[in-house]
């Protein structure tokens, strides 16, 4: 599905999302093609919200990207990020970008490292051992002349070729993920009750496929639900966007600082010329505004 190009200042953002085929939907949130057009030589700043792991392949200007106090990467045309509980800050110039978002089961199935080892990490995928096997996509995507359907077919075929057998923990990972998406699952005890799994089993599975402890993941989910409401409808203001699982506004503000690195007021005052069009296009296509809220689609959806 194609979103209308969005102009913010002198930047044009054209976002297109593609649902994964039925045999890959339990692994992948979406394939995405984005064209950024910026003034000549300009590098425009923005910040990605916390999310699951992603692989991004650039044709054009490579981004400058970083976690505050963590990894910083410049000049890479294959940027791989692990699951995150912090914003990825970046500056981007004119480029064409193919990306794919990995659900926790997708991480376990395709990435050669536990998710916790790559949590809040940002690396050059061409050289990092967890991601280097995806490097051939750099030559398979962005071929001239651009043929979006053919490129998407190559992308899909690449994953199918590496999807030989079901992951041994598939049922556990899917059960934990499904429970985590339910707003009524607010505590780790709720997660254990809903999945029928012990806390140690959930913690071990979360380390391998999700990247963080169950408690941190549930905190991230309630904040992401609040952020999605505000971004899609700022007229609600923060008071009308706060998730029902927060006990009070100070708790929400503390979580906002922990995950976003600033206050809600500071975030709302900042321009987001690339991320907001991306989020709105995603919501229009899938119904869920943020990758962390993605529900695995049934084959007939």
- Reported as a single tens digit per residue, the pLDDT across 175-226 is 999 999 999 999 999 999 999 999 999 999 999 999 999 999 999 999 999 9
State the Cα–Cα distance between residues 197 and 246, nearest whole angstrom.
25
Q: Is the pLDDT of residue 138 over 90?
A: yes
State the Cα–Cα distance between residues 38 and 258, nearest whole angstrom.
32
The backbone torsions φ and ψ at residue 242, rounded to the nearest 5 degrees and listed phi first, read -65, 130
Q: Is the pLDDT of residue 300 over 70?
A: no
- Residue 6, pLDDT score: 52
Q: What is the largest CA-CA distance in the chain?
A: 56
State the Cα–Cα distance between residues 121 and 267, nearest whole angstrom.
22
Could you tell me the pLDDT band of residue 144, with boundaries at 50, 70 and 90? confident
What mean pLDDT comes out for the span 59-86?
Answer: 97
- Residue 167, pLDDT score: 96
What mean pLDDT comes out for the span 282-295?
Answer: 90
- Residue 28, pLDDT score: 97
What pTM was computed for the model? 0.94
Q: Is the pLDDT of residue 299 over 60?
A: no
Average pLDDT, the chain: 94
CA 176 to chain centre: 18
- Residue 73, pLDDT score: 98
What mean pLDDT comes out for the span 88-107?
Answer: 97
Higher-pLDDT residue of 129, 299: 129
- Residue 288, pLDDT score: 86
Could you tell me the pLDDT band of residue 7, with boundaries at 50, 70 and 90? very low
Six-digit token pair at 256?
Answer: 């906002």
Provide the CB-side half-sphere exposure for 161 (13 A, CA): 10
Could you tell me the pLDDT band of residue 46, with boundaries at 50, 70 and 90? very high
Q: Which of 189, 167, 148, 188 is nearest to 102 (CA)?
A: 167
Q: Is the pLDDT of residue 248 over 60?
A: yes
């Amino acid at each position: 599905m194609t979103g209308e190009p969005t102009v913010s200042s002198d930047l044009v953002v054209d976002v297109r999302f593609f649902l994964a085929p039925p045999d890959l939907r339990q692994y992948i949130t979406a394939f995405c093609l984005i064209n950024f057009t910026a003034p000549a030589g300009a590098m425009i700043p923005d910040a990605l919200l916390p999310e699951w792991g992603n692989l991004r392949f650039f044709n054009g200007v490579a981004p400058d990207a970083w976690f505050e106090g963590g990894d910083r990467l410049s000049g890479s045309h294959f940027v791989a990020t692990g699951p995150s509980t912090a914003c990825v800050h970046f500056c981007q110039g004119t480029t064409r970008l193919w990306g794919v978002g990995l659900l926790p089961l997708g991480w376990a199935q395709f990435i050669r490292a536990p998710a916790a080892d790559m949590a809040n990490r940002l690396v050059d995928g061409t050289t990092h051992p967890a991601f280097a096997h995806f490097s051939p996509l750099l030559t398979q995507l962005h071929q001239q002349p651009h043929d979006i359907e053919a490129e998407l077919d190559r992308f899909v075929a690449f994953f199918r070729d590496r999807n030989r057998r079901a992951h041994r923990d598939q049922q556990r990972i899917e059960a934990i993920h499904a429970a985590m998406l339910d707003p009524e699952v607010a505590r780790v005890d709720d997660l254990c009750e809903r999945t029928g799994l012990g806390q140690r089993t959930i913690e071990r599975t979360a380390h391998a496929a999700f990247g963080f402890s169950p408690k941190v993941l549930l905190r991230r989910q309630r904040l992401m639900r609040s952020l999605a409401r505000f971004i899609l409808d700022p007229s609600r203001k923060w008071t009308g966007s706060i998730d029902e699982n927060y006990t009070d506004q100070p708790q929400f503000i503390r979580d906002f600082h922990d995950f976003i690195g600033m206050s809600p007021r500071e975030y709302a005052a900042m321009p987001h010329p690339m991320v907001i069009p991306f989020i709105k296009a995603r919501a229009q296509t899938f119904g869920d505004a943020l990758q962390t809220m993605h529900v695995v689609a049934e084959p007939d959806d």
